[in-house]
Amino acid sequence: MKNEWPLWEIFIRGQHGMSHRHVGSLHAPDAEMAIKNARDVYTRRNEGVSIWVVEANHIAASSPSDKGPLYEPSESKVYRHPTFFDIPEEVGAM
């Protein structure tokens, strides 16, 4: 399988103003073809206004097993949420 095309991760901007969101992946020999293929695979029903492609091996990802050490520390920091503070109603929205 030496000549297998690389895998590309595909990101589509669904409508003006939104961020690109990951929609899936596909194989393609290069970036230009990846965009063309992404158009055919992921935007056949007008799902997008813009496409980003990134070669999958360029994506560094956190490990699911690191969930605890990564996110648990913020659980005890409830004061980061505005609702932590008791603001009387007559003061208005804040």
Partner 1 sequence: MYAQMVQSEATQDDPEKLAAFQARIDAGEKIEPKDWMPEGYRKTLIRQIGQHAHSEIVGQLPEGNWITRAPTLERKAILLAKVQDEAGHGLYLYCAAETMGVSRDELTEMLLDGRMKYSSIFNYPTLNWADIGAVGWLVDGAAIMNQVPLQRTSFGPYSRAMIRICKEESFHARQGFDAIRKMAEGTPAQKKMAQDAVNRLWFPALMMFGPSDKDSVHSAQSMAWKIKINTNDELRQKFVDQTVPQIEFLGLDLPDPTIKWNEERGHYDYSDPDWSEFFEVIKGNGPCNVDRLAARNKAWDDGAWVRDGLLAHAKKKAARQHAAE
Residue 88 binds partner 1 (CB under 8 A): yes
Residue 58 binds partner 1 (CB under 8 A): no
Task: Identify which of residues 61 and 91 has a Cβ nearer to partner 1 in the complex.
Answer: 91
- Cα dihedral value 20, 6, 64, 24, nearest 10: 40
SS3 label, residue 51: strand
Size of the site for partner 1 (CB under 8 A): 19
Task: Identify which of residues 24 and 50 has a Cβ nearer to partner 1 in the complex.
Answer: 50
Residue 84 binds partner 1 (CB under 8 A): yes
**Residue 69 exposure: Cα atoms within 13 Å on the Cβ side:** 5
Residue 85 binds partner 1 (CB under 8 A): yes
Output b/e per residue, 61-92; b: 16+ Cβ within 10 A.
eeeeeeeeeeeeeeeeeeeeeeeeeeeeeeee
Task: Identify which of residues 64 and 82 has a Cβ nearer to partner 1 in the complex.
Answer: 82
Which residues are at the interface with partner 1 (CB under 8 A)? 13, 16-17, 19, 50, 77, 79-82, 84-88, 90-92, 94
